[in-house]
Chain A
Amino acid sequence: MTNEANANVSSNNSSSRRSPFKLITGGHRGRLAQIPIYLGKDFRMFIFQNDWKVLPMSALIAALIALVVGENMYVTMEGQFQCSLALTCVCIWNGFFNSIQSVCRERPIIKREHRSGMHISSYVIAHLIYQMFLCAMQALITVSVCKIVGIKFPTEGFITQWFLLDIWITIFLITYASDITSLFISSVVHTTTTAMTVMPFMLIFQLVFSGGAFTLSGPAAKLTNLTISKYGLVALCSQGNYNSLKSVTLWNTIFRIRESSPELKEALWQIEQAGQLEEILARSGEAMQETAYAMTKSNIYSCWGHLVMFAVIFAILSIIVLEFIDNDRR
């Protein structure tokens, strides 16, 4: 008989042994105390799981956008609008990518830990804090890259003393709201493949219903109120004082058809010679003003408020959805 078998025989008699069971009466770590555990995990993942790569990625995208459409930002209405829309899309893209896989990739692990006493709210709050850090860094990088590439930002702030801080807050809030939206999607779906399938639809929805890229009417127009892109676009255009900028669309259109009529060509030449071009462009801008983009504090606060609301709602929904994780099948 082997030693192991001997051990087996001896243990067969262990039923008479005194039980070592002691009920643990003390409490375990509550919701608040569990947050640092998961926050620590998230930051370790930032280093070890290459989450840090989203930072250089955001710099690259910001540089591309700034180079392509940044030249006329804060100069013309058209430039301001294009760049605001592009920046909004960049922020949404960044936000979506940050956390679209963060929950679903470790869903079975969450289920196991939930069984062992993890509080879902602690887990989600840790994610919210970590993603806040990530989005803040991305917003900082985006603003810095835009500045470095050559976008001429105004110096004086409208909400705070510094314009760059105002813009940073808006970019941060757009990114963060998108981030938490995708955190919610990641909490709902069960696999990373599904998450990555859903994401393009969400991006298209944000773009189509931003209220800027396409003219919408009827019920479709009302859908814009449900998009992060609308509030992001409005906030960026308002902060850039869109309504005070000149518009070049009319002038450019007339300029293109000048050859069709000698009188028109002559008139344009005379306007240029008389130095009235700037006045025409300014007047053209006045005609193109949008009340939605009015540079008022209430307008900007309203946009920021909506973006915060998106983040809060989706954070709560994420917690609610994940509370049912025990129902996941094997």
Chain B
Amino acid sequence: MQVIDISFIDAFSFLMWLVASFGLSKIFKKFNIEGWWAFVPGARIYWLGRCADREEDGKIAMVFEILTYPILLSGQLVNPDLEISKYLALLNIFFGIVCMIYKARICIDLCGDLKVNKNWAWLWVFAEVIPCLVWAYNDKYTPNKALLRYNGLDPILDDELLRSLEENVDTTDSGLAVKIKDRTVRNFLDKRYLLREIFMNVPPGHMVLLLGGSGAGKTTFINAVTGYEKANAEILLDGMDVYEKYDKMKYSIGFVPQMDLIRSNDTVYRTLYDAALLRLPSSTGLIEIGNRVNEVLEQFGLSSVKGSLVEKLSGGQRKRLSIAMEYISDPYLFVLDEPDSGLDGVIARDLMRRLRAIADQGKIVIVITHTPDRVADLFDDVIVLAKDSKRTGRLAFYGSIDEAREFFGQNSMEGILRLINQKDEGGEGRSDEFVLKYAERQVEPK
């Protein structure tokens, strides 16, 4: 063991780091990030990654940078003649190289965002103090757009309105009652709101279109409603709390993912039979299971191919099999994520008619589709989710298709999407306006 020896070079390096940190803190402020993060070793590279829209790289660089600190300290404490010091040095070199590569990737993108020549990135990697100071104190270098922070509250709806909306949801009625206060996710050093303030009642027998632009929170909404990813919410299915009884109720909720997640080298019949074994109660007899499988195969027009391997099926048949796998347990709430993706108009419509038939049995069917207008007439209602100015998913409308057209003043569902999408996504960016308008409409005396 030896006493830590601080040389002139160490002191100079620390001073440079400190000066760079002051510059970096100013750059962070330009990106709408608290400046003090620049003085936190490790965390600063993560935030730099966020600025450059390279969050994953920022995370990795942060982890490796943090790992180097104990090694550096050990290197100071351990006798350099010991064999372990060689291994520590090797590790340090390895971690240093990884950090440098990720830092370079982040800085190259940061240059693009600050509209400077990308060669500056190399200067940043080897002598960060120079670009830190130049970019910080020169107003010419401003980011294309400030980083959107999610941890600040920016309410569109006031408390009184929210209370009224929540009270409006009938939790005793049959069907689906949704009371989502918010759905947040803690992501490393930041907390994000994915969804906020969604209240509605979906009656049984309704086929509902879930409409929303990219990143509006459609999948998050579905996961919250089905209980797969719990939100700060109350979800009731015929008065029963989905979150409280999830283990039992998950078999009454079917979710069909966007991709056909089926083993391609198994037969259609065995795929469905195994799905039935998993999803039906263990008290169901094997003959009964066989009958149910045949019944569902018939219902989805797959009887003629039941002996075929899944890989031999057409796109439409695979999609129907994927739906049948969930439908086998006769779910009451049936949610489908883009079941018509990759299908032509005729096949997509045929598929939607089958879903309509399921809803007509009194079930609730919720469908996400990116081509809503070709099948809009088959739906009873539409849920419009919109990304607000803080990039949080909110309810912009829930009601019948005709009401939606009237509410938004548009003839098509795609027209509605254009209206609510953010400007940088080719939309008109009017989501906040419609979120408020719809909320006020909900609490209006009828």
Which residues on A are within 8 Å of B, measured CB to CB? 2, 4-5, 7-8, 11-12, 14-15, 17-30, 33-34, 37, 40-41, 44-45, 48-49, 106, 108-109, 111-113, 115-118, 218-219, 326, 330
Residues of A close to B280: CB separation below 8 A: 28
Whether A115 pairs with B228 at a CB distance below 8 angstroms is yes
Looking across the interface, which residue of chain A has its beta carbon closest to that of B381?
A: A12
Q: Which residue of A lies closest to B259 (CB)?
A: A108
Of A12, A27, A33, the most chain B CB neighbours within 10 A belong to A12
Q: Does B261 contact A (CB under 8 A)?
A: yes
Q: Which residues of chain A come closer than 8 Å to B166, judged between CB atoms?
A: none
B66 proximal to A (CB < 8 A): no
Which residues on the A side are within 8 Å of B380 (C-beta)?
8, 11-12, 14
Q: Output the residue of A4, A28, A40 with the most chain B CB within 10 A.
A: A28
CB <8 Å contact, A11 and B205: yes
Task: Determine whether the beta carbon of A28 is less than 8 Å from that of B175.
Answer: no
A41 & B263 in contact (Cβ 8 Å cutoff): yes
Chain B residue contacts of A108, Cβ below 8 A: 257, 259, 261
State A7–B174 Cα separation when bound (angstroms): 22
Residues of chain B within 8 A of A24, CB atoms compared: 248, 251-252, 281, 329
C-alpha gap A116/B252 in the complex (Å): 10
The answer to whether B377 touches A23 (Cβ under 8 A) is: no
CB distance from B12 to the nearest CB of A (A): 35
A8 CA to B363 CA in the complex, in Å?
Answer: 14
Q: Which residue on chain B has the smallest CB distance to residue A51?
A: B265
> For residue A13, which residue of chain B has the nearest CB?
B205
**Residue from the set B205, B206, B240 with the largest chain A CB neighbour count within 10 Å:** B205
Choose one: A21, A33, A41, A111; the contact of B332 (CB below 8 Å).
A21
A8→B266 contact, CB < 8 A: no
Nearest neighbor of A45 in chain B, beta-carbon distance:
B265
Q: How far is the CA of A25 from the CA of B255 in the complex (A)?
A: 20
State how many angstroms separate the Cβ of A19 from the closest Cβ of chain B: 4
Contacts of A12 in B (CB 8 A): 380, 400
Given A14-B205, A49-B265, A117-B278, A219:B237 Cβ within 8 A: no
**Known contacts A14-B203, A15-B205, A37-B277; is-contact A26 B282 (Cβ 8 Å):** yes
Q: Is the CB of B282 within 8 A of A21?
A: no
Does A15 contact B261, Cβ atoms closer than 8 Å? no
Cβ contact of B83, chosen from A23, A33, A106, A219, cutoff 8 A? A219
How far apart sit A81 and B311, CA to CA, in the bound complex (Å)?
A: 47
Give me the 4 closest cross-chain CB pairs, A-B, nearest first: A14-B205, A15-B203, A26-B281, A19-B174
A112 with B257: CB separation less than 8 A? yes
How long is the Cα–Cα vector from A330 to B368 in the complex, in angstroms? 16
Can you give 9 A-B contacts (C-beta < 8 A)? A2-B377, A7-B360, A14-B362, A15-B203, A19-B238, A21-B174, A109-B262, A112-B257, A116-B279
Instruction: Check if B164 is an interface residue, CB within 8 A of chain A.
Output: no
For B87, the closest partner residue in chain A by CB is A219
Given contacts A26-B282, A28-B251, contact A8 B377 (CB under 8 A): yes
Quick check: B206 and A15 within 8 Å, CB to CB? yes
